Amino acid sequence: MTVETIPPGPAGLAEVGGDQRPARAQRRRTSSRAVLSQVLLTAVLVLFLMPFVWMIASALKPPAEVFGGGAGLIGSEVRWSNFAEVWRYLPFGRFMLNGLFVAVSGTVVVCVTSVLSAYAFARLRFRGRDRLFLVYLGTLMVPQEVTVVPMFILMQQFGWVDSYAALILPWAFTAFGTFLLRQFFLSIPSELEEAATIDGAGRLRILLQVVLPIAKPAVAVLAAFTFINYWNSFLWPLIVVNGRETATVPLGLNLFLSQNGNQWHLLMAASAISMLPTVVMVVLLQRHLVRGIALSGLGGR
């Protein structure tokens, strides 16, 4: 392991002696320590990823080989057909489409309403602004579970049980997006907007053409995390959706568990499918997300 880090040629001779010896030895010690650290970290990472590895391995096994002694990582055959079989048991394609529709619509609603209200709170002057914003702030800490019961009753009143609207709208108006974007808008120098005002642009135009281009990274982060939250949401869909027509992916997994709870090869295939969209998104947006978490405080979930 450490051999790789010793530079070829003169450095290798440093051991034998010469006046450079202490410095060389020191450097070699630190570099071999760095290698050791990297190797250990990689080992930790591999261990950490084992659940995912095992998920995919089990998803590709024949059913009889998921449990029991001697079952290795790869079964007697690699059965890609398990993934197709998932579709036959339950309309997983439908769940995926439902999930995408709900998550995308929810994200659009959250972003549009948050951008508008955040701009009003950050830049417009009107009576009661600070008091209204304080009310928004006050609800930031309210856990979803507190309002789940009245929300369910509200859905019954609206006749929205089992509908897309019930999956999209109830959680699209929390204070979080408004709060996050307001903070970001406040950090944009207002001189830019004043110049546009003098040029005669209206408020909406200033927001769309001056402020939004600058705030794009913050909106992107809000959009990404909103999408992920909608896609993964489980408690609320479990409460408000009973049928398969509007079920999202986590509900599909739950249905699968209650109907075919012992078909672990299929459950793992279904789980792997459910993870795909958010993983792809995080890989594509990684740089923005890391910065976004740092600047926005979306952490700690």
Partner 1 sequence: MTVSLPAPPAEVRRAEAGRGVRRGDGRAALGFLAPSTTGFLLFTLIPLVGSLAISFFAWPVLGRKRFIGLGNFVELLGNPIFHQIMLNTLVFVVIYVPLNIIVSLGLALWISPRIRGRGLYRLLFFIPTVTPMIANALVWRLLYQPGGVIDQTVQTLFGVPAPNFLGDTRWAMAAVILMSVWQGFGYNMLVFSAGLDAIPQSIQEAAAIDGAGPLRRFWSITLPMLSPSMFFAMIMTLITSFQVFVQPYVLTRGGPGVTTETMVLNLYRQGFEQFDLGTASTIGWFLFMIIMLVTALQFLGQKRWVHYDG
Stretch that binds partner 1, among 6-14, 16-24, 84-92, 106-114 (CB under 8 A): 106-114
Stretch that binds partner 1, among 1-9, 74-82, 87-95, 204-212 (CB under 8 A): 204-212
Instruction: For 96, list phi and psi in degrees, rounded to 5.
Output: -65, -45
Q: Compare residues 14 and 272 and give the one whose CB is closer to partner 1.
A: 272
Within residues 257-276, the interface with partner 1 by CB under 8 A covers 257, 264, 267-268, 270-272, 274-275
For partner 1, the binding residue among 82, 98, 107, 174 (CB under 8 A) is: 174
- Provide the mask over 59-98, with x wherever binding to partner 1 is found by CB under 8 A and - wherever it is not: -------xxxx-x---------------------------
Amino acid at residue number 93: G
CA distance 200 to 82: 62
Stretch that binds partner 1, among 2-10, 12-20, 84-92, 111-119 (CB under 8 A): 111-119
For partner 1, the binding residue among 11, 100, 188, 210 (CB under 8 A) is: 210
For partner 1, the binding residue among 206, 219, 222, 241 (CB under 8 A) is: 206
Within residues 219-238, the interface with partner 1 by CB under 8 A covers 228, 231-232, 234-235, 238
